[in-house]
Structure 1
Amino acid sequence: MAFSYPPRIFKDGKPHIQIKSMNHYCFLSKFQTMKEYIGEDVWDELKNSSVGVFLKLTDINVTHKYIWASSIVNFFLSHQLAVDNIHEFWSLIDGQPLRFSLHEFKDITRSKL
């Protein structure tokens, strides 16, 4: 039985590098250096902004030894399905659709969204 899924954003799981790219050189350890440089007040303001979710990864890393696997994220992005819901990310992994939304993000990061 063949299943029908939304089309992939990139053909054959190979993203066009000029359309979207990903930084493989992001190290959570650099966030601590940035925090020391800008100070607690500015850091707390940033944590409460739209980019705060990334800064909160440093807190998770200290407590739970969070590991950022850019190769896995790159795989998910290159197999991304075109869906209408902007709050969900769908990827086709080994012929099976996989949903990643804020619910899954919350569970993985133990964040209080």
Structure 2
Amino acid sequence: MFKESVEFNLQNILPSLSVRAVTGSAFSQARYKVKPEVFRDLLEFFKEPYCGLEKKLWKGHILLAGDGSTLNLPASKDIEAYFGVHSVNQLGTKRYLARALLIYDVLNNFIVSGHISSMKTGEKTF
């Protein structure tokens, strides 16, 4: 979880990955261009190799953990159309939120499943 500025973290993390450093502004602008489907496709891409791996087990079982969270979303017409407006403050500023859920294989360090939905979907339903 970033507690420092995006710029600070980029300057510290990217060089250790042998990647050219970029400005915080460039990073922020570029992340808006990432299509949500890329995350679904990445999960699908790695699912088959994961299924074929010999897994570490706990008492003969795969140990899974689920974690739900609330995400603050940037303002855009597409986000408003899909997720809706969660709230509007006194100044008329709209707030967009989404509910996210990840299912994680604890012993094998792999996200097995991930979902994102509007706040209308309750955590128990998710």
Q: Output the TM-score relative to the length of structure 1.
A: 0.25
Which structure carries more helix by proportion? 1
Question: Greater relative contact order: 1 or 2 (C-alpha under 8 angstroms, separation 6 or more)?
Answer: 1
Which structure carries more strand by proportion? 2
Q: Output the TM-score relative to the length of structure 2.
A: 0.23
